[in-house]
Amino acid sequence: MFTGLIQATGTLFHKGDTQVYLRWETSPLPSSLTDVELGDSIAVDGICLTVETMLPDGFVAAVSPETLDRTSLGNLPDGSRVNLESSLRVGSKIGGHFVTGHIDGQGHLEAAIETDNAWKLSFTVGDRRIARYIVPKGSIAVNGISLTVADCSPSGNWFAVAVIPVTYHETTLQHLRPGQAVNLEGDVLGKYVEKFMGGKDDAPAGNSVSLEFLAEHGY
């Protein structure tokens, strides 16, 4: 589990088809990353990866075919900057929102416009399975960054976020170009609510929560 608050950036290099090497770029590293050990989870551009090998200047992690297929990882060229966040620790502050590191799919940057005190970034989403979880003022993780949806289309296939300067300049958002793919993860709480409400086609019969059910049980 992560919070979507980026702690550092790194540079990514592919090691064949099954591993990636991440080199630290932020200096000095925050304490949350200096004590990373073998087997720890680290979100790389929002993708939960497991540390397989620790190196003096970074770490090596394994990647599965599913990860390469569903995320932007397989198409990132060597030398790409990525966002890094260590897993949430018990007792730590949760300044963003609950992020699992399990990417739902990809979207694409439409435009990045600088305003007086922020950056307005807009994205397009082609997959309904992702778009359904994008709601006004809801949470969305873009390349692992916890952001609030400032505006969106009714279907969720387009949305915009307002990004403060420190977030823009301390993450890889500053390097995005129109048309570039980003990893998206919808709010996990919304997914569970949808499941319990019977909103999915494959929801088990008899497990839905209706307004009548809530009223009957005193809600």
Query: Same domain for 72 and 117?
Result: no
The predicted pLDDT at position 209 comes to 62
pLDDT at 90: 74
Domain boundary among 30, 55, 86: 86
Instruction: Supply the CATH number for residue 45's domain.
Output: 2.40.30.20
In angstroms, the CA 10 to CA 140 distance is 22
Q: Do residues 117 and 57 share a domain?
A: no
What's the domain count of the chain? 2
Is 24 inside a domain boundary? yes
pLDDT value at position 205? Answer: 45
Q: What is the 3-state secondary structure (H, E, C) of the chain?
A: CECCCCCEEEEEEEECCCEEEEEECCCCCCHHHHCCCCCCEEEECCEEEEEEEEECCEEEEECCHHHHHHCCHHHCCCCEEEEEEECCCCCCCCCCCCECCCCCEEEEEEEEEECCCCEEEEEECCCHHHHCCCCCCCEEEECCEEEEEEEECCCCCEEEEEECHHHHHHCHHHHCCCCCEEEEEECHHHHHHHHHCCCCCCCCCCCCCCHHHHHHCCC
Domain co-membership, 14 together with 80 = yes
The count of other CB atoms within 10 Å of the CB of residue 88 is 19
Residues 119 and 165 in one domain: yes
Under-50 pLDDT residues of the chain: 203-205
- Whether 76 and 118 share a structural domain: no
Q: 79 and 117 share a domain?
A: no
pLDDT of residue 203: 45
Q: Do 116 and 60 belong together in one domain?
A: no
Comparing C-alpha atoms, which of 162, 173, 160, 158 is closest to residue 125? 158
196 part of a folded domain = no
**The pLDDT of residue 204:** 47
Q: Is residue 39 part of a domain?
A: yes
Whether 114 and 172 map to the same domain: the answer is: yes
pLDDT in tens, 65-74: 999 888 999 8
Vertex 46, ends 41 and 49: CA angle to 5°? 30
In this prediction, residue 208 carries a pLDDT of 59
Domain extent for 163 = 105-186
**Phi, psi for residue 107 in degrees, rounded to 5:** -125, -175
- Both 159 and 112 in one domain: the answer is yes
Q: How much is the pLDDT for 207?
A: 53
Decide if 3 is inside a domain: no
Do residues 34 and 69 share a domain?
yes
Answer yes or no: is 40 within a domain. yes
**What pLDDT shows up at residue 210?**
65
Asked if 77 and 17 sit in the same domain, the reply is yes
Give per-residue burial for 154-185: e unless 16+ CB within 10 Å, then b. Answer: eebbbbbbbbeeebbebbbbeebeeeebbbbb
Domain end, chosen from 36, 51, 86, is at 86
* Residue 203 covered by a domain: no
Position 73 scores a pLDDT of 92
What integer pLDDT is reported at residue 92 of this predicted model?
75
117 and 150 fall within a common domain: yes
